[in-house]
Amino acid sequence: MNDTRRALLRALADGPVTGPQLASDLGVSRAAVWKQVEGLREEGFEVVGGDDGYAVASVPEYGGAAVEFGLDAPFAVEFHDSLPSTNDRARELAAEGREDVVVVADEQTGGRGRLSREWNSPSGGVWASVLTRPRLPPAHAPLYTLAAAVAVTRAARGVGVDASIKWPNDVMVDDAKLAGVLTEMEGEADRISWLIVGVGVNANVDPDSLPAGATSLRAEVGDVTRSEFLQRALTAFDTLTADPDAILDAWREHAATLGRRVRVETPTGVVEGRAVGVRFPGALVVETEDAGGEYDGHAGRSGGEVTIHAGDCEHLRPV
Ligand code: BT5
């Protein structure tokens, strides 16, 4: 999207505005304004001309301009009908020096989960990657992953879905997975260079086209307007990351894992017990039922408590 188109979207978001006013505000000719208005119409916007000037009568369900229109967060949106992976495209933009960009695709042909797993991304989902350059040390990066899970959970609750988070960052409805987060970054010892938080939300997709154990917004509450859903999530993410000290508490409020019996597969073994807390920068604290077990104790352990920094967590039935 070019700068004139973006400025036009901002101006129209505040209500009707005349062609001459737009031309003077944007510092372009009236013909250039008209060209951008036509461009918006081609993207599916209904732009009407009345006595007060141009006004937006309706916005398309999805697309770059639809997500940016009225977005209350400082992100530019790059939209694609299809991409291998929005995280991969965001990495290219990072290499070009960009920041505060969200890459969005209607479908992904090579969507990735953690540890090189596949992420099914049929048309109709919300597949998006946020590229930022937080002024933080790399050790703080997991907070951004937690913030993304909270943001998506809030957006899901906003459309009436009873979502909550399974540690570290799966958004669940009961035992079914609605969304996942994949964070990638590059940095030096003391400073993040770029951070990409990729979120995949099964929005307007049939669970039949997803792996077993997955659910979608369509299955839970019916189809949603994806541009509004993503706007809510992006605004929440921006608000949460503006105050990193508050992210853990926000995560705790939305978590289903705390207080549950869990089985966590970590890189150094399996831990079973009761999840009793989450600690900076996102580590799970599990009270183990027996001090022995398969776990070889590389992570911090004090008494019966084990602190786990990475792993796959399963919620067990209460005994
Ligand atoms: C995740 O990995 O949950 C992170 C998913 C991140 C996807 C987003 S989409 C936008 C951006 N671009 C990308 O290429 N990726 C990010 P993990 O916790 O490892 O879960 C992966 C596992 O979830 C898979 O092994 C499957 O079992 C399951 N799975 C795959 N696709 C799924 C889906 N659409 N819904 C629910 N579960 C799925």
Encoding tokens for residue 257?
Answer: 């894992």
pLDDT of residue 2: 84
End-to-end CA distance of the chain: 55
Q: How many beta carbons lie within 10 A of that of residue 211, not counting itself?
A: 10
Separation of 114 CA from ligand 1 center, angstroms?
Answer: 7
Closest C-alpha to ligand 1, atom 34? 120
pLDDT tens, 225-253?
Answer: 999 999 999 999 999 999 999 999 999 99
User: For the chain, what is the radius of gyration of the CA atoms?
Assistant: 22
Encoding tokens for residue 141?
Answer: 């990066």
In short, whether 120's Cβ falls inside 6 Å of ligand 1 is yes
The answer to whether the Cα torsion of 12, 18, 21, 24 is positive or negative is positive
In short, whether 169's Cβ falls inside 6 Å of ligand 1 is no
CA 167 vs. chain centroid, Å, equals 16
- Residue labelled with tokens 């990657």: 129
- pTM of the predicted model as reported, rounded to 2 decimal places: 0.94
In short, whether 87's Cβ falls inside 6 Å of ligand 1 is yes
Sheet containing strand 312-315, edge to edge, reads 301-302, 305-308, 283-288, 269-279, 261-266, 312-315
**Atom of ligand 1 minimally distant from the CA of 114:** 19
pLDDT tens, 17-74?
Answer: 999 999 999 999 999 999 999 999 999 999 999 899 999 999 999 999 999 999 999 9
- Give the span between the Cα atoms of 196 and 86, in whole angstroms: 10
Separation of 112 CA from ligand 1 center, angstroms?
Answer: 6
